[in-house]
């Protein structure tokens, strides 16, 4: 970061771009639209969790896979998860790229366990008061993978203790916690927006480096901590709102 005057100028620029991209138009091309058809808290969070998990690669392909998820889950993802029998789970055949039928079947089993025995996703993700939520993510992983499973499925849930920036999990948490009344749902109240971390991907990372918000070359947890620290200088209460600016600049403006 530079001197105070340059910091103020950069904040003004990012605030402007955040307002520009934190809009209804953003939803038209974003996987969050898949969860927007639901209104009940549990339905929103289940669909959001699954669609965020498969959110890598071509966005059109992700959204098309999301529409297949809607057909599977029906009117209520929660009711689907709680009522489906083991024999029916083993017949599910959803896949998206490397996320295959076994992974999806395990996700349904684990989600069922979380809602029946662990109090739901929000409770599992909000166990610790953590300024970056990394401990909460690790706790969630321990619960999610507490059922017997093949090792291959673990690659779909990033692990911060292994150095991952956990892009998709942080995106999911942004959706659940931030309440901008436009894009993000803001249905979780046990986690503060001030503790969120930016979903660090190729677009946000590229722009953040050009703006001198990150010096590290790898998009790992060390780079994320650096980005988090600098975004909190601009807005300590809602630092992740700048995800819209960084992503928008990289995705739409070739910044």
For the segment 61-111, what is each residue's pLDDT rounded down to a tens digit? 999 999 999 999 999 999 999 999 999 999 999 999 999 999 999 999 999
156 neighbors 53 (Cβ within 8 angstroms): yes
- DSSP, collapsed to helix, strand or coil, labels residue 81 as helix
| CA-wise closest residue to 133 among 85, 92, 190 | 190
CB 251 within 8 A of CB 195: no
pLDDT at 4: 52
Say yes or no to pLDDT of 235 above 60: yes
Rounded-to-integer distance, Cα 77 and Cα 26, Å: 24
Helical residues (DSSP H) of the chain, grouped into ranges: 4-21, 24-27, 32-35, 41-53, 59-73, 77-83, 86-89, 101-117, 121-125, 134-144, 167-177, 202-210, 221-234, 242-252
Looking at the predicted structure, is the pLDDT value of residue 113 above 60?
yes
Contact 151, 211 (CB under 8 A): no
- The pLDDT-based confidence of 131 (bands split at 50, 70, 90) is confident
Encode pLDDT of 135-185 as tens digits.
999 999 999 999 999 999 999 999 999 999 999 999 999 999 999 999 999
d(CA 247, CA 225): 17
For range 223-237, the mean pLDDT: 97
- What's the predicted TM-score (pTM) here? 0.95
**For residue 142, with 0-12 CB atoms within 10 Å meaning exposed, 13-18 middle and 19 or more buried, which class applies?**
exposed
**CA distances in angstroms from 142 to 58, 124, 159, 210, listed in the order given:** 30, 10, 10, 36
On average, the pLDDT of the chain sits at 95
Residues 6+ apart with CB under 8 A from 142: none
Over 70: is that where the pLDDT of 125 sits? yes
CA atoms within 13 Å, Cβ hemisphere of 174: 22
Is the pLDDT assigned to residue 5 strictly greater than 60?
no
pLDDT at 255 over 90: no
């Amino acid at each position: 970061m530079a001197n105070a005057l340059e910091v103020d100028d950069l904040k003004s620029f990012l605030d402007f771009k955040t307002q520009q991209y934190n809009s209804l138009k953003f939803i038209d091309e974003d996987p969050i639209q898949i969860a927007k058809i639901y209104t009940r808290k549990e339905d929103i969070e289940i669909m959001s969790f699954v669609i965020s998990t498969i959110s890598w690669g071509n966005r059109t392909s992700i959204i098309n896979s999301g529409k297949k998820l809607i057909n599977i889950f029906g009117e209520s993802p929660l009711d689907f998860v709680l009522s489906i029998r083991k024999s029916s789970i083993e017949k599910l055949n959803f896949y998206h790229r490397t996320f295959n039928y076994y992974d999806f079947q395990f996700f349904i089993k684990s989600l069922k366990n979380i809602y029946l025995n662990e109090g739901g996703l929000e409770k599992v993700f909000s166990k610790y008061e953590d300024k970056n939520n990394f401990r909460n993510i690790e706790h969630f992983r321990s619960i999610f993978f507490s059922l017997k499973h093949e090792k291959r499925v673990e690659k779909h849930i990033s692990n911060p203790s292994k150095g991952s920036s956990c892009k998709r999990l942080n995106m999911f948490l942004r959706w659940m916690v931030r309440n901008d009344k436009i894009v993000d749902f803001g249905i979780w109240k046990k986690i503060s927006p001030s503790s969120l971390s930016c979903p660090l991907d190729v677009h946000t990372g590229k722009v953040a480096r050009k703006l001198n918000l990150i010096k590290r070359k790898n998009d790992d947890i060390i780079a994320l901590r650096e980005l988090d620290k600098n975004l909190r200088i601009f807005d300590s209460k809602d630092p992740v709102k700048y995800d819209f600016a960084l992503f928008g600049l990289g995705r739409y403006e070739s910044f």
